[in-house]
Structure 1
Amino acid sequence: MLTLGLWRLDRGGMWRDEAVSFQVSRRTVPQIWKLLGDVDAVHGLYYLVLHAVLALHPGEVVLRLPSVCAAAATAALVAALGTRLARPRVGLWAGLLYAVTPMAGHYAQEGRSYALVAAGATGATLLFVRGVRGGSWWPYGVVLGLTCWLHEFAVLLLLAHAVSLASARAGRRVWRGWGCAAAVVGPALLPMVLVSRAQSAQVAWLREPTVETAEGLLRGFLGPTDEVYAVCLGLALVGLLGLVGRRGEVTCAGVGLPLMVVPPVVLMLVSQMSPLYVDRYVLYALSGASLVVAAGADRVAVTAARLRPPARRTATRCTPPNDHPPRAAPQKRHSTSRDCGAGGGGRSRRGILSRAGCVVLVGVLAVALSLLHQFPLLLRDRDPGRRPDDLAAVSRAVAREVGPGDPVLFLPAPMRNTALTYPRAFRGTRDVALVAGAAESGTLYGREAGVAELRRRLARLDRVWVVADRRLLGGRWAPRNPVERAKAAILWQEFSGRRQAVRGGVTVRLYVRPVSARPRPPSAPPRPERW
C-alpha cells in the first residue's frame, strides 16, 4: 500500500478540494479557527493536523503524504483484523486486497481527510474486537471519538459494531462495555453536529442516491473490472457462510459484513430525505469488504483441503534396504519403533507445512493477478485529468494569456481557488469583485462586492478576463447566488467572448465590451477596440 501510494504521488497539480486543504492549512491557527465558525467545520481537525505537516514544507507531495501513510496503516490494520478474527493467511490476503483496490489507491493520493478516517475506523474496529474478547473499552471510545472529529459520518461505525454484537449474540457484559463507549462518543460529537448542521448549504449540490449509486459503490469495494468483481463477489458470498460463530464470538464475516454494508446503507437511506451521500464519506467501509472476501477465500481453501483425496500410504521400513545387517542402535535411543514413528511424523508435518505454504502463496498470487488486471486503472488514476479539474493547468493558461494589470473576474467565486493556490500566475492582476481576502475575512474564497457595486466596477471596464466554470458559461448550470447571477448577466448582455483556453471543467476567456456598447461623451471621437 505504501508503494502504490507513493507511486507518482506528484501529479503536478491539485484539484479544487485538495486546493482548499492546501490554502486553508497554510493559514494561521486563529485564521483557521475563524473560518470553521462559518464553513468547513467538519474538516476542522484535519486542517489543524495538516497545518502542522505543511509547516515543514508546503507542497503537493507533503500535502498528500498523511493520506499515503494512513492508507498504509489501514492495510496493516485490516491484516491485523483478519489475523485476529480468523488466521494469519486471512489477514495477509485481506491486507493485500485492500492495498490493491483502486478505490483505496485513489484516496491514498488525495490531500483530504478520508484516508485518515479509514485508518481511524479500522483501528477502532480492531479495538472493538479486543473489547469483545475481554479487553478494555476506553481505547475504543477514544479512537472512535477522534475519528468522528475527522469526519462526523464515521459515527455510523457504531451501528455496524452493534450489528456485529447482535450477530455474535454477545453477553450483557460486552453490551454494557460497548454502550458506555458509545455513550461517550455521541455527546463528544454533538458540538460538531450542531455547527456542521448550520453549514449544510455546503452540500446542497448533492442528489439522492439511486440503485446505480449502490451498485457503483459495490463495484468500487470489490473491483471495478468485471472479472475481478465477479471473483470477489463470489468469494464474499462464500465468506458469508461463516457469518455467525459460537455464542459470544465475533467472526471475520460477522465484523466485516456490517462494516461493509451498514454505514453506506444508512447514509443512502437518510439521503433519500436529505441528500448527504458521497462514496468518499464511507471509504472506511472498504475494510469490511476486504475482510469478507478474504474469509471466503479461506473457506474455499479449507473445503478444498477436506475434499482432497488422502495420500497413498507407503510402508515404513526400519531396516536399510540392502543385504547388510543393521547397525546397533545408539544407546541414547530407546526403541526402533519410536524412531520410525518420529521419522514418519516429521515427514508428515513437513508435508502439511508445505501444503499450507502453497495455499498462502496461491492466495497471494491471486491478489497479484488482480493488481495486474486493474493496473491500467491505477495508472490512469495518476493522471491529473482524472480529477474533476486541474488548477495547476488553469494557472498555466492564465500565466500565458493574462498580463500584469489586467482585470480578472472569477465565476463563481470558488474559482478564485486557483489564484489562492497558485498565486504566481495572477501576480499583478486586478481582482474585480474582491472586497476582502480569504484569510482575513474568514472565508474559503474571500468576500465579494454586492450586486450594485459589482455593476459599477464592471461598467468602468472595456475588457475583463474571466476564470469560470465551463458548465455555467455553457448555460448548463444557473447559480442561485444573486452576485453570481449578476456576473453572468452582465457578461452576456454587455460583453462578447473572444479567445479562450479550456482546462478540464474550467474556462479562461477574454470578454470585450463592443464599441457600440461603450459609454462615450457626446464630443468624443470613436476609439479603436483595445486588446
Structure 2
Amino acid sequence: MPALVMLGSGLWGLDRGGMWRDEAVTFQVARRTVPQIWRLLHDVDAVHGLYYLLMHAVLPLHPGEVVLRLPSVCAAALTAGLVAELGARLIRPRAGLWAGLLYAVSPMAGHYAQEGRSYALVAAGATAATLLFVRAAREDGSWRVYGAVLGLTCWLHEFAVLLLLAHAASLALARAGAAVWRSWGCAAGAVVLALLPMALVSHAQSAQLAWLRPPTAATAQGLLRTFLGPTDGVYRTCLALAAVGLAGLVARRGGLTCAGVCLPLAVLPPAVLMLASQLSPLYVDRYVLYALSGAPLLVAAGADRVARVLARPRVRLPAPVVTASGAALVVFAAVHQFPLLSADRVPAHRPDDLAAVARAAAHPTAPGEAVLFLPATERNVALTYPGPFRGARDVALAVPGPASGTLYGRETGAAALRERMAGFDRVWVVADRNLLTGRRRTGSPVERAKLDLLARRFVPVRESVSGDMTVRLYVREPRSASAGAPGVRP
C-alpha cells in the first residue's frame, strides 16, 4: 500500500511542462553517445556518471519530461515499500504500514520523486542497504549483498557513503559481537575501496560546488522540519511521537532496535555533512535525501508505543481498528500538507523553468541571426529546447558540448568574440538578469567581453522575463543625446 500511494503521488502532475536546469543537464547529457558521456565525466560531473548512463538507456524510449522522471517515481515507490518492510521487521507490521505511508505523503519525498536526477534512486538504494544490514546483523545474512547494494548506491552519489557511519553507530548501540563487526567491516571496506576512484576524480571537480555556502543552525532546523513535516501541526505531532519512539535506543547485547537503526540513519549523514561543510561547503538537502527514511520509522515506533500504552486489558481494541486508526492519522497529515504537495507540481516551484524561457525566446528568427548566452551556462535553454533557436547563430560558441567534453560547449576568446560580433546589427541575449544589471560579478574574460560589447555597441529594445532569466533583443544603434537613453520595451 505505501508503494502504491507513493507511485500515485509521483505520477500526479508529473508532466509540469518544463524542466529546470539540473534536469535539463540530465536530459541533454543522457542523449549523448556513451563515449561522449565517458569523456564528459573525466572533466565534470563524474559523481552523476552512473546515473547518466542509466538514463542514456531509458530516454530513447520516449525523450521527454515524463520518461526523464519515471525512474525517480519508481524509485520513490520502492523506497516507501522498503520503509514499510523495515518497520515490519524492526517494530511490527502495523508500524511498518504507518511508516511507509508517512514516507509516501512526505512533501520532501514527493518533491524528489518528480525530479529527473539521481536522488530518489540513491534513497531507494540506501534504504535497501539498511534493510539488508538489519537482516545480516540479525539473521547472519549475506554481508556481500549488503556491500554490493551500498557500493552501487554510492556510485549513484558518493555522499551515500555516509550511511556507513549510521550503520556503525547502530552496531555500537546494539553492542554487536566481534564476528558481526568483522563481517560488517569487510563489507564497509569493500564499499570504500570501490568508491575511491570516483572520489579522487570528483575531488578534482570540486569547483562544481563553488556556489554552496556553509550551513547554519537554521539549516539544521529547516531539515528537521522537512523530515518530520513542514506544517506546524504535523511537525509538532511527529516530533513528539519520534521522541517517544527513541525509547529503547540502547538494546540488549546483540539486538538491533528501531531507534538504534533509525536515529543514526536520520541524524548522522546530514550532521556529518553539515559539520564538514563548515570547512568546505558540501551540504545540500537533496544530498542526504536518503536519511529521510529514518524519520517516519521513528514516528511510527512512537505511535505504536502510544497505542500499546493506551490499550487497556479490559477494553482492548481489535488490531485492525488500531491499524486503521493510525493510517487515518497519516491521511490527516496528507490533507494538512496538501497545499504544499499541490504547489510542488507547479513549474514555478523549481529554481527555474527553462521551457518558459524558451517560450520567451520564441520569435521570427532570420537565418544566421545572432544569439548570445550570458553566462555560457544559459546555453542549457537551447540545448534542452532547441526549437526557438533554430536558424540562429550562437556567436560565442567555438566547440559544442558533446565534441568538447563539456556540459555547455567551449566558447571562443574575447578577441575572437569581438570580431564575430562586428558583423551583426541585432543580437538576442539569453542572460542571467543579475549579471546584466551588475548585481552579480563574473571573473571570466569572455563573459566580461560580452557585457562590455552589449554596453558599448548595442541598445536593448525588447525584453521578456522569466524568473531570474531574461531574453533581450539588442540592436546596434548609436545613443542620441537629444533622445536620451533608450529604455527596454517589454
CA, structure 1 residues 486+246, in 2 after alignment: closer, same or farther (shift >3 Å)?
same
1:403 CA displacement: 4.6
Q: Which residue of 1 aligns with 2:298?
A: 292
1:496 CA displacement: 2.4
1:55 CA displacement: 1.7
Q: Distance in 2 between matches of 1:366 and 1:470?
A: 46
Q: Which residue of 1 aligns with 2:20?
A: 15
1:100-119 alignment, distance < 5 Å: 100-119=105-124
Q: Is the 8 A contact 2:7 2:76 kept in 1?
A: yes
Q: Distance in 2 between matches of 1:473 and 1:227?
A: 43
Q: Is the 8 A contact 1:402 1:465 kept in 2?
A: no
CA, structure 1 residues 470+244, in 2 after alignment: closer, same or farther (shift >3 Å)?
same
Q: Which residue of 2 aligns with 1:183?
A: 189
Q: Is the 8 A contact 1:14 1:60 kept in 2?
A: yes
Give yes or no for the alignment of 1:161 onto 2:124. no
485, 489, 493: which is aligned to 2:452? 489
- Please list the CA deviations of residues 345-367 of structure 1 after superposition, one character each: whole Å capped at 9, or x if unmatched: xxxxxxx6x52211111110000
1:514 CA displacement: 2.6
Q: Distance in 1 between matches of 2:210 and 2:440?
A: 14
Q: Which residue of 2 aligns with 1:367?
A: 330
Which letter maps to 1:172? Answer: A
Q: Is the 8 A contact 1:411 1:484 kept in 2?
A: yes
- Please list the CA deviations of residues 443-476 of structure 1 after superposition, one character each: whole Å capped at 9, or x if unmatched: 1001100111112222332221100012212322
Give yes or no for the alignment of 1:45 onto 2:55. no
SS in structure 1 at match of 2:43: coil
- Please list the CA deviations of residues 110-133 of structure 1 after superposition, one character each: whole Å capped at 9, or x if unmatched: 000000000000000000001101
310, 315, 333: which is aligned to 2:314? 310
Which letter maps to 1:77? Answer: L
Identify unmatched segments of 5+ residues in structure 2.
1-5, 481-490
Q: Distance in 2 between matches of 1:516 and 1:215?
A: 53
Q: Is the 8 A contact 2:458 2:474 kept in 1?
A: yes
The structure number with the bigger radius of gyration is 1
SS in structure 2 at match of 1:507: strand
1:401 CA displacement: 6.2
Q: Which residue of 2 aligns with 1:173?
A: 179
SS in structure 2 at match of 1:106: helix
1:2-151 alignment, distance < 5 Å: 2-133=7-138, 134-151=140-157
Q: Distance in 1 between matches of 2:385 and 2:359?
A: 9
Q: Distance in 1 between matches of 2:110 and 2:51?
A: 20
Q: Distance in 1 between matches of 2:285 and 2:439?
A: 24
- Please list the CA deviations of residues 260-293 of structure 1 after superposition, one character each: whole Å capped at 9, or x if unmatched: 0000000000000000000000000000111111
1:69-468 alignment, distance < 5 Å: 69-133=74-138, 134-305=140-311, 308=312, 310-311=314-315, 355-400=318-363, 402-468=365-431
Which letter maps to 2:39? Answer: K
Q: Distance in 2 between matches of 1:359 and 1:489?
A: 70
Name which of structure 1's ranges 273-282 and 240-249 shifts more when overlaid on structure 2. 240-249
Q: Is the 8 A contact 1:388 1:505 kept in 2?
A: no
Question: When the two structures are superposed, what TM-score results if normalisation uses the length of structure 1?
Answer: 0.88
- Please list the CA deviations of residues 372-402 of structure 1 after superposition, one character each: whole Å capped at 9, or x if unmatched: 0111111110001111111111111111365
SS in structure 2 at match of 1:195: helix
Q: Is the 8 A contact 1:495 1:513 kept in 2?
A: yes
- Please list the CA deviations of residues 32-51 of structure 1 after superposition, one character each: whole Å capped at 9, or x if unmatched: 00111110100000000000
- Please list the CA deviations of residues 51-84 of structure 1 after superposition, one character each: whole Å capped at 9, or x if unmatched: 0001221111000000000000000000010101
Identify unmatched segments of 5+ residues in structure 1.
312-351, 518-531
Question: When the two structures are superposed, what TM-score results if normalisation uses the length of structure 2?
Answer: 0.95
Q: Which residue of 2 aligns with 1:512?
A: 475
In percent, how many aligned pairs have the same letter? 71
Q: Which residue of 2 aligns with 1:472?
A: 435
Cα RMSD over matched residues?
1.3
